[in-house]
Structure formats: C-alpha cells, structure tokens
Structure 1
Amino acid sequence: MKRIFFTTVLAFTSLNVSALPSMKTSIDVQAEISTSVRIYVEGNDVTNGAITLKLEEKNGYMTGTTPELLFIGNASSVSVSLTSPATKGLVSENGDQMRINTAWIKPGDRDISTSYPVNNLPVYPTLQDATKDTSIRVRFTSADRSETYPLGLYSGTYEIMVTPSI
C-alpha cells in the first residue's frame, strides 16, 4: 500500500508543476521626438551662442554682413526675425549712438527688410545636406555717413529668433 501512495503523490506533484500558468509582463515603450533646430555659421553650431561682426567703412558708410546662416534639425522649415537693441543701433563708450539699418539677404543678394520675419526657410537633417543657395544672411549698415559720428568704438547686440514649423 505504501508503494501506491508514493506513486500517487509523485504523479500529483508532477501534475501541479505542469499546470502552473505562465506569467508575463508587458513593457510599453514610448519615444516622443520634439522639434529641434540648430543654427550653423561656417560649419559651427552657434545656437544660443554669439556671432561677432565688425563693421567696416565702405562707400562712406559703416557696413558688414554676417556669414550664411544654415538651419539643421527635424523641422520642415523655420521663420526668422531680428530684434534690435533698445537703442535701435550701436552705442560708443562715450554714449554716442550710431543708428543702424538692417536687412535680410536671401540667395541672389535680394535684400528684405528685417522689420518683418522671413518665413519658410529650409531646415536640413545634417550639415552635409545643406546648400548655400537657401541660406540667409544679415546686413548691417550705418544710417548716416561715417564722418558724421564721433570717434569711438561702437557696439550693440542684435538677436535672431528662429521659430520652427512642424
């Protein structure tokens, strides 16, 4: 009798192990990609940085043009706007003011007023994909002839705002 009981117990234990249900856990994975655009000048990322531009005398006016601005990222396009300093120009160390006229320069040297944003500028996935024929530059020119301003070093900070389009 003992032997039958022992066999019965083994069969019962074996039955319990195979009858256990499988366990599982789900892992829900998500990745949200936000719009991201970087500003490049001469191959360098200048996003949240600064571009230094020195105006030089040309045809009696102080003038200078930024290098080409390229936009790299995952937006379909961008709009750019320019904000002038509170003084609307440059100020010397003596407090003298130099009014500055600004213009966007699109490919083909077409000047457009910076009073309005420029829309639908292309954004490229990589710097290698970018073409200069779609870049934009900014021209700065003194409002008056150079000889009308007192001697000194004039400076001011302009800000380019880039707004991506999805």
Structure 2
Amino acid sequence: MEILICSDNHGKKIVLKQLVDQYQNVDARIHCGDIELPNQDLVDFYAVTGNNDYYYRYPDDLVVEVKGHRIYVTHSHRLSFRNRLEDLAVLAKAHNCDIACFGHTHRYEVETVDGVLCINPGSLYYNRDGSEPSYAILSIVDGEFFVKRKLVSEL
C-alpha cells in the first residue's frame, strides 16, 4: 500500500497536477493544507485547511481510512510549537489513528511519538530549512511503515 503525502503548495497548481500524473496508482493522496486553490483543484486529494487558505474552505482536520489504517490529518498551525508532535499524537490517538500527517512548518519530519507515526512531508513550494521542496510516500508492507522523502525537482 502506498500513500502520497504533501503540504504547503501555496497556490502552485502545476505541482499538484504533476503529483497526480506521477502517482496514479497510490491508494490515497493526502494534502496537509495551505493549498490556496479552489476545492475543484483538489478532487484527487484528501485535504485540510491551512492558515493561508483564506478564500477556500477545507475541513480543519480529518481522518482518512486506507486499508485498515486510520490517518489523522491536520495543518497543525493551531498546535503548540514546543509540543507539536506530542499534541499531534494525542489527537491522532483520540481519533483511533496510528498515523498523523501535518504541515505548516515547511520542514520534512518523520518521528514516532507514543506509537503514532507523525509525518510532515515538507513544503511543495519552499522549505524553511533551506532544503529542496519535498513530499513523502508512505508505504505499508506487512504492517510496517516506510516513509520516503521525495523531491519536487525530481517530478
């Protein structure tokens, strides 16, 4: 099973089309907010609202079920900076999720916190740590999670 996870394209529509074209056979596509595009441009994604999505509304958070796994998705701008991952894990567990996907920080990050795999795919537009724009592919094989960082420049 494979899931595409992305975030923070900030109105850049072409990269979303490239992702859909490149990853036609994934089991789900998740967008963690700061889309800045109308909903009809995201029909191929499960998407949440980010702090820059002023004109278009998506859910604040959502739970995506894919082949027996529940994934909690939020932009995370309303979570504490210092305790973001811990708070995210609490929210995910409250929704019976074993995976949490988030954005907002524009930094790629993968960490397991209290049994919850937390994934920030970085930004499709620019990463604040100076690294290249990125997204993530989550593979689940025999119950094991594998996350691979992918660069937008390689699309």
TM-score, L = length of structure 1? 0.22
Q: Which has the higher contact order (CA 8 A, sep 6+)?
A: 1
Hey, which of these two has a bigger chunk of strand by percent? 1
